[in-house]
Amino acid sequence: MLIQEGAAAAFHPQLTGAASVAVRILWLIPVVPIIAAGIVAVLKQPRRRLAAGLAIGSMSFSFVLALFAFAHVVASWASGFAVRETVNFAWFHIGNEAVAMGWILDPLAAVMLVMVTFVGLLIFIYSTGYMAHDENFTRFFCFLALFAGAMLSLVISNSLLLLFMSWEIVGLTSYLLIGFWYHKPSAAAAAKKAFMTTRVGDVLFLLGMVWLFAETGTLLFYNHGAGSLEGFALGILLTQHAGLGLTAAGAIGLLIFAGAVGKSGQFPLHVWLPDAMEGPTPVSALIHAATMVAAGVYLVARVFPLMQAGAAGIGTTAAFGSTTALEVITWTGAVTAVFAALIAVAQDDIKRILAYSTVSQLGYMMAGLGMGGIAVGMFHLITHAFFKSLLFLGAGSVIHGSHDEQDIRRMGGLRSAMPVTFVVYAIGMLALCGFPLLFSGFWSKDGILEAAHGWSLSKAPFDLLVFGALLTAFYMTRQVSYVFFGRWRGHGHAHESPRVMTVPMCLLAFFAIALGVIGTPAWAWFRGFLLNEPAAVNFAAFASSDLLMLMGASTFVVFLGIGLAWWLYGNRSPAAEEPDKLEKAAPWAWAALRNRLYVDEIYEVTVLAFFHWWARVADWLDRRIWGGIVAGVAMAFRGWAQLNRLIDTFWVDGGFDKGCEELSTSGGLLARAHTGRVQTYLRLLALGFVVLFIVLIWSSRP
């Protein structure tokens, strides 16, 4: 339990006692979509309506349950109780150790549950329109439902093990859905790339998990004082030193963070996320923008006590003590935010721009977690989930409406052809840019900037993040002016998408604006809810000159970015072959950005070259050394066998054959006596008697 200083003096968080109904039925939230996925998996392909109905129905059910759980948490919080209810059970025993599993209901989980189920539900509905003509419609919904179930189980898990297992299942569904159109070689390659890149982080995550279990003997997060994130276990972890000035807590935290780096596409493992756009657009929206990639951020938020262990002055933004782990998270996030935003400037694929933007925004979330704590990072996660899935659905609508064209240079003027898409896309774009006051993105991004400004260790992350904000405004304006302004440069006629696609987008657009309300400095409801502080409307918060200065600066930066981009690209409708304005100005820099700052190429000549070399070495070892030994042994046995054969043929068989021959000959001789004539026998008998008689007489002679 985080005891908040300051405000906590007047407001004592307490655990509620007996498990409530909300937490006892919490397990249904992930299980129902998983069952739906299982049923859809065995449906025949033509049963489209049933498949979509099952997936959407299960998701609606989960959404209602999530709302119920959320309401329960909010109600308890409002009446002064901090909810952290868990249901734990022993999964199996190894020797004397019990491996425990469990689920948890706390504000963090409740917020994520509502976000995932709501965004998921809208994207499911949207998908029925987007995928309407795909022959593998049922398979798509099977994967989507499985993903949703695994993601929800990740959110509610109270055990790092359960979380890890769900983490791997969402990784699997991500793989399956990126490679959904597996007949495209690029999609199959992207799926493999995503799976293997995230695996790098996952291995480190697993190591951290094993280490945590070795130190504390439990993987449960909270277990009435005996969990791994509670005081006792943290105390043990803080006394262990792991080298490099890290405590065990910090080292384990960093290993777990490595998993988050892989999943959340942080530098340097971000390379898979832009390629993941090969998947269907609803998948990009749900998995690669709103939920799965945010799972890394959620993971860091979930194990935040581990990251924060040992820091002085926990709590408020102003006096936020930092640890090595949090510093690493901050720097990774800040670098990623700018790095990806830079690349996004020079991309021409509508989804790739959004993908780099997602990487960049995930960097913001990480930086926010590192410098401002759970509330700051998670608020950006939630608002981003809404406006980024909105942008992706908008991009899907644009792609759908302009006949599967993804190159923004071959679009243009869609403002009049797709008015609804234009309006919601503009809302999403302004929210992403952080357009002042009206949009949720402004408030969540401002929270991060404010935390960065207050960070005591360095001002560099603040500068990086402000620059990132400028770039964000720039590339989004560039994209929007290419796509929606100027004249139509594609082929055929663009058309507006059906209502089943536009209605979910309108709902998301509403929340892209409305969610800002719960996170403004004047009414820090979200922050209070997550940190168990009371939230009250207080417009005096704006009176702080620092805050006003920050808001002013960020507003200026956003307007600067939008203005610059509009000045360069607005309403110009250049031909697709024409070089970009910036390319003319700085061809060298443009080429570097366009080629994604050569990260893939660097991996190609370092990591991949090493692996290729290593594979060749292993191949050589296999062929020459091991193969030689095996062939030698085989030769030796073959020679031995030949020798045995010779002995057998000429010695054993020869002796045996001779014996048989002799036996046969003597049998033939004896058979001659066997004439069948009674008198011959009798004669022999008589002869025998005579001989016997003579012998008797002879021997009885005196």
Partner 1 sequence: MTPLTAYLLVAALLFAIGLAGALTRRSAILVLIGIELMLNAANLNLIAFWRYGPHPEFLTGMMFAIFSIAVAAAEAAVGLGLVISIYRHTQTTDVDQITRMKG
Return residues touching partner 1 (CB under 8 A). 674-679, 682-683, 686
Query: Residue 585 and residue 549: Cα distance in Å, rounded?
Result: 33
Given the complex with partner 1, which of 245 and 676 has the nearer CB atom? 676
Closer Cβ to partner 1, 437 or 685, answer by number: 685
State the minimum distance, in angstroms, from the CB of residue 664 to partner 1: 16
Are the beta carbons of 221 and 303 closer than 8 angstroms?
A: yes
Nearer to partner 1, 210 or 696 (CB): 696
Q: What is the smallest separation between the CB atom of 679 and partner 1, expressed in angstroms?
A: 6
- Quick one: which of 600, 618, 617, 597 has its CA closest to 608? 600
Minimum distance of partner 1 from residue 682's CB (angstroms) = 6
By beta-carbon proximity to partner 1, the closer residue of 605 and 686 is 686
Nearer to partner 1 by Cβ, of 575 and 670: the residue is 670
Whether residue 405 contacts residue 417, with contact meaning beta carbons closer than 8 Å, is answered with: no
Q: Which is nearer to partner 1, 438 or 696 (CB)?
A: 696
- At its nearest, how many Å lie between partner 1 and the CB of residue 695? 19
Closest CB 673 distance from partner 1, rounded Å: 11
Q: Is 533 helix (H, G, I), strand (E, B) or coil?
A: coil
Tell me the Cα Rg of the chain.
37
Cβ distance to partner 1 smaller for residue 618 or 682: 682
Gap between the Cα atoms of 452 and 466, Å rounded: 10
Nearer to partner 1, 567 or 681 (CB): 681
- Which of 361, 337, 351, 368 is closest to 408 using CA atoms? 351
Q: Are 426 and 398 a contacting pair, CB within 8 Å?
A: no
- Least separation, in Å, of the C-beta of 690 and partner 1? 10
Q: What is the closest distance, in whole angstroms, from the C-beta atom of residue 677 to partner 1 in the complex?
A: 6
Give me the least distance between CB of 694 and partner 1, in Å please: 15
Question: Of 183 and 674, which CB lies nearer to partner 1 in the complex structure?
Answer: 674
Q: Which residues face 616 on adjacent strands? A: none
- Smallest gap from Cβ 675 to partner 1, in A, equals 6
Count of residues for the chain? 702
State in angstroms the smallest separation of the CB of 678 from partner 1.
Answer: 6
b/e string for 633-670 if b means 16 or more Cβ within 10 A?
eeeeeeeeeeeeeeeeeeeeeeeeeeeeeeeeeeeeee
What are the distances in angstroms from CA 166 to CA 264, 272, 292, 501, 575?
15, 20, 11, 29, 46
358, 359, 365, 368: CA torsion to nearest 10: -130
Per residue in 393-415, is it b (16+ CB within 10 Å) or e — as a string? Answer: bbbbbbbbbbeebbebbbbbbbb
**Closest CB to partner 1 among residues 18, 671:** 671
Task: Tell the smallest beta-carbon distance from residue 667 to partner 1 (Å).
Answer: 12
Q: How far is the CB of 680 from partner 1 (least distance, A)?
A: 9
What is the enclosing helix (H) or strand (E) of 99?
strand 97-105
Tell me the torsion sign for CA atoms 116, 119, 123, 125. positive
Instruction: Return d(Cα 312, Cα 113) in angstroms, integer.
Output: 31
Smallest distance from partner 1 to CB 652, Å:
32
For 552, the enclosing helix (H) or strand (E) is: helix 545-569
Shortest CB 676 distance to partner 1, Å? 3
Minimum gap (Å) between residue 688 Cβ and partner 1 = 13
Q: Which CB atom, from 243 or from 676, has the smaller least distance to partner 1?
A: 676
Q: How far apart are CA 280 and CA 264, in angstroms?
A: 19
- HEC letters along 644-689: HHHHHHHHHHHHHHHHHHHHHHHHHHHHHHCCCCHHHHHHHHHHHH
> Cβ 683 to partner 1, closest distance in Å?
5
Q: Which is nearer to partner 1, 487 or 674 (CB)?
A: 674
**Residue labelled with tokens 């403004």:** 520
State which residue, 612 or 683, has the beta carbon closest to partner 1.
683
DSSP labels for 104-159? Answer: EESHHHHHHHHHHHHHHHHHHHHHHHHTTT-TTHHHHHHHHHHHHHHHHHHHHB-B
Question: In whole angstroms, what separates CA 170 from the centre of its chain?
Answer: 5
Nearer to partner 1, 540 or 670 (CB): 670
Distance CA 606, CA 604 (A): 6
| DSSP letter for each residue of 196-247 | HHHHHHHHHHHHHHHHHHHHHS--BS-STT-STTSHHHHHHHHH-EEETTEE
- Per DSSP, helices labelled H in 402-439 are 414-417, 419-433
The values of phi and psi at residue 542, to 5°, are -70, -15
Pairing mode, strands 241-243 and 97-105: unpaired
Between the two ends of the chain, the Cα-to-Cα distance in Å is 126
Q: Which is nearer to partner 1, 9 or 678 (CB)?
A: 678
Residue nearer to partner 1 on the CB measure, 682 or 695: 682
* Residue placing its CB nearer to partner 1 in the complex, 591 or 682: 682
The crossing angle, in degrees rounded to 10, of helices 350-372 and 460-484 is 160
CB of 632 to partner 1, least distance (A): 59
Residues 6+ apart with CB under 8 A from 451: 317, 320, 368, 371, 372, 373, 376
